[in-house]
Structure 1
C-alpha cells in the first residue's frame, strides 16, 4: 500500500478510494460533531457539575487551546513519521480523552479531559486532508477533497440535531458517542488506508516554537479569563505580560528556525497578512457568538437543548447550498468585495440576534437572524480561504492553510476568554436570564463590531486580483458552523 500512497494512484471511483474517503470523513466528523454539540451541552454541564461561567469557558477553551497550539506540530509529525500512523494515534487519543470527558465527576476533571481531547484533535485533524492529498491521483484529488468537504458539511448539519437529542438524555453521551465512531475509523484506517510521508520534510521539528506558542496561548487565555471573572490584579497583569513576551519570543524564534512552524516569508506578502488579520477578527466574533447564543436560547428564551442545537442549522444549510457559488464569484471578481460585504452582512445578522430574548420565537426572531448571518458567512468563508492560499507560494500551500487555521482557532480561543468578561458575564449568570441577556447583548454588539472591522480591513488591504488556482482545496475550509471544517474548532 505504501507504493500506492507514494505515487498518489488511488481513484475516487474505486473501492480503495472510497475506503480512504470514508476514513477521512469519519475522522473529521468526530471532531466536527464534538465541536457543534459541546456548546449545546454547556448549560446542562454547568448545572450538573455546579460550575461557574469560567468553568464553562474553560470547557471550551481547554480543547481549543491544545488544538490551536499543537495543530501545526501535528501536521509536521504526520509528514515525518507517517500520516496514517499519526492520524490513527490521534483518533485513539481523542477517543480515550472522550471517555474521560464522559466519566468526569467534576468540572476540573472535565477541563483536563477536554485539553487531552484537543491534543488528539491536533494529531488527527491535519492528517485527514493530508491523507487525501497524498493518496489520490491528481485528476481525482480535487473531486475527493470536494466530496470530503461536502460530506463533512452534512456531518456538521446532523451534529446539532444529534447533539441536542443526546444532551436531553445526558450530556455525557455527547462524549461517549465518540467511542464507537473512533473504533470504526481505526479499523478502516489500518485495513484500507495507505501509509504516506513526506520524504523531503525538514529533518527537525520546531519544538521550541511549539513550546513558546503553547505557553503564550495558555498564559494569555488564563489571564484574560481570570480578568473577566475576578477583575484585575497585579498577578494577572504579570501573567498577561508573560504571555505577550512568550508570543514575541515565538515570533523571534520562527524568524531564525531552520524548520519553522510558521515560515516568516508568508507574512511578507501583504495580502496573506491582511487575510489572516481578517481571519483573526472574523473568528474572534464567531467564537463568542457560537458559545453564547446557545446559552441565550436555553437560559433566556427557554429553548430545549435540542431546539437550541438546531437553531443554527439554517446557517449550515445556506453555506452548503451557496459556498461553491461564493467561491466561483471570488474567482471572477477577486476576494476583495466578498470579504468586504460578507463580514458586514454577517454583522447585520448578529445585530438581528439582539431581538432574541425572553419568549423569543424561532420563526420570528431566530430564523431571520441566522439566515442573514449565514448569508454573510457564505460570502466570507470560501473567498477568505482562497485569498490565503492564493497569496502563498505553491511550496507553502500546506503551511499557509495551517497557519490560517491556527489563527482562526487562536482568535476564537482568546475571544471566548476575554469578551464574556468585558460583557459582564461571570459566576452563575448563565442561570440568571436577566443578567445573562444583558451580557449577551453587549458581547454580540462587540462581535458585530469585530465583523464590521474585518470588512473594512478587507476593503482597504485585500487588493490583489484572485488567481483561480487553488480554490479547489475546499470551499468550506473554515466553516465555523461545522466547527470549522475540515479543521474543526470547538
Structure 2
C-alpha cells in the first residue's frame, strides 16, 4: 500500500508542479484588487497609475502568450517554464520593493512577461506528461485551477494585505521555489521537432497595437476622450497591419483566417467578454467596499466568497456534464448568467452595503463556473487538429485582453457616472474628485476637509462613488447579456468532442510547419 501511494504521488507530481505555477500567475491577475487602496495611500498613486498596476500585467499576458508558445516549441517547454518561473519570482520581488508607482507598474509588466512564458507552456507540458484517461483527468484538474485562481485572488489578496500590501508579491517567492523544485524533479523536457522560428514581426505588432489601444482607453478614463483618440486609433491601425502581416506569413503566431469561422469567432468573443464582464468590475467594487464602505482588505476579500465558492462548485460538479453539451448553449448561457448576476447588483446607492452584492455575485459565479471550463475544449473543437495549440493560446490571449480592456473601459464609465453625481451635488472639481475616488482616496479627501463640512462631503462622495459603480455594474451586465446572445448566434451547436472541420491541404501544410 505505501508503495502504491508513492507511485500515485509520483504520477501526479508533474501536474502539481504545473498547477502551482499556473495558479500563482493567474491569482496575480486579481490579487491586487483589494490591495489597491493601500497601494494608492502608500505610493500616492493617481487613478491612471492604479489602472496600469492592474492592466499592464494582463496586457503583457495577452500580448505575449502566443509568441512564448512558439519559443517553447523551439527551445523546450520545460526550459521555458523554468525561465518563466524565475522571471516571475524576480519581478514579484521588485513589485514588493517598489518605492513608487512607476517602479511598480514596470515590475508588474515584467511579471506579466514571466507569467506569459509560464502560461504558454502549461497545456503542452500536460499533454506530454500524461496519456489516455490520465490526460483527461489532468486537464480537468488544470481547468478547475484556472477558475479557482481568478476567483480566489481577491480573498487571498485581502488576507495578505492585512499584513502589508507588499506581501501579495512576496508570497510568490516561496511558491516559486516549490514549483521550480518540483519541475526539475518531475517534469521531463519536450519540444516540437522542426518547430519554426518565432513570429517576431507578429509578436511585435500585436503587442504594440494592443498596448497603444489600451493606453488610450486608460487615458480616456482619467482625462477624457479629447486627447485619447490618437493612441486608440493608432493601436487599431497597428492591429490592422498585424492582420495583414499574419496573412502573409507561412508560420504566423495566430492564423487570422480562423476568425472566418463563426464558431471560432464566437468562442473568442466569449473568452473576451467573460473576463471583461465578470472580473474587471471587481477592481471598482473592491475600492468601494474599502474606501466608502470602511471594510478592511480581508473583509472586502471575503465579500467575494459567493463568487469564488459558486464558480468552483459549478465547474467541479458540473464540468464533465457540461463538456458533453453544445458549446453555444454552455458558453452563451454562462455569459447570460454573468450578465444577470451583474444586473442583480445594479441597485447600489449611497446607503448600500456589501449585502447588496451577495446575490448577484453568487449568480455571477455560477455563470463563470458554467462557461469557464468549456472555453478551451470548445476552441479546440472549432479548428483543425493541427491548429489546436494556436487555438488554446488564442483563448488565453482573449481572456487576458478582455480583462485589460474591461478595466480601462469601465474606468471611463465610472468617471462619467461619478463626476456627474458629484457635479449635481455641487462638489468643486467633480472630475478631479471622481478620479481621486477611483484611486481609493476618499478617506484622504475627508481627512483634509473642513471638519464642519465633512458630513456633507461624505454624503457627496458616497453618492458619487455609488453612481459610478452602478454604471460600471450595469455596463458589465449589458456586456454579459449582449455577449451571451451573440455567442448563441455565432457558435455552432456541435459539442466539444465533435471532430473539427478538416483544413485545406495548403493550410494543413503550413499549420504542420507551425
TM-score for both structures, normalised by structure 2: 0.83
Aligned to 2:200: 207
Aligned to 1:82: 76
Is residue 37–residue 309 contact of structure 1 (8 Å, CA) maintained in 2? no
**1:167, 1:470 → 2: CA distance?**
47
Is residue 336–residue 367 contact of structure 2 (8 Å, CA) maintained in 1? yes
Query: Equivalent of 1:318, from 297, 304, 310?
Result: 310
Aligned to 1:227: 220
Is residue 271–residue 464 contact of structure 1 (8 Å, CA) maintained in 2? no
Is residue 265–residue 490 contact of structure 2 (8 Å, CA) maintained in 1? no
Is residue 267–residue 491 contact of structure 2 (8 Å, CA) maintained in 1? yes
The 5 A counterparts of 1:8-19 are 13-19=7-13
- Structure 1 residues 186-219: Cα deviation after superposition (integer angstroms, max 9, x where no partner): 2222233211111142x22100000000100111
Q: How many residues align?
A: 458
Q: Is residue 115 from structure 1 mapped to residue 144 from structure 2 by the alignment?
A: no
Aligned to 1:34: 28
Q: CA deviation at 1:383?
A: 3.7
The 5 A counterparts of 1:464-479 are 464-468=493-497
Aligned to 1:421: 412
**1:60, 1:77 → 2: CA distance?**
26
Q: Which runs of 5+ in 2 are unaligned?
A: 419-433, 443-461, 501-514
The 5 A counterparts of 1:314-393 are 314-324=306-316, 326-356=318-348, 360-362=352-354, 364-393=355-384
**2:271, 2:143 → 1: CA distance?**
20
Q: CA deviation at 1:39?
A: 0.9
Is residue 300–residue 358 contact of structure 1 (8 Å, CA) maintained in 2? no
Q: CA deviation at 1:351?
A: 1.8
Which deviates more, 69-78 or 431-440? 431-440
DSSP-derived class of the 2:162 partner: helix
Is residue 155–residue 302 contact of structure 2 (8 Å, CA) maintained in 1? yes
Q: CA RMSD in A?
A: 2.4
Q: Is residue 198 from structure 1 mapped to residue 206 from structure 2 by the alignment?
A: no
Which deviates more, 123-132 or 248-257? 123-132
Is residue 302–residue 359 contact of structure 1 (8 Å, CA) maintained in 2? no
Task: Name the CA shift for 1:192/1:263 in 2 (closer, same or farther; >3 Å).
Answer: same
Query: Equivalent of 2:268, from 255, 265, 276?
Result: 276
Aligned to 1:95: 89
Q: Which runs of 5+ in 1 are unaligned?
A: 1-10, 472-490
Which deviates more, 343-352 or 63-72? 343-352
Is residue 68–residue 116 contact of structure 2 (8 Å, CA) maintained in 1? yes
Aligned to 1:54: 48
Which deviates more, 132-141 or 399-408? 132-141
Q: CA deviation at 1:262?
A: 0.7
Is residue 33–residue 157 contact of structure 2 (8 Å, CA) maintained in 1? no
Aligned to 2:297: 305
Q: CA deviation at 1:330?
A: 4.2
DSSP-derived class of the 1:85 partner: helix
**1:152, 1:344 → 2: CA distance?**
21
TM-score for both structures, normalised by structure 1: 0.87
Is residue 24–residue 129 contact of structure 1 (8 Å, CA) maintained in 2? no
**2:171, 2:55 → 1: CA distance?**
21
**1:421, 1:243 → 2: CA distance?**
18
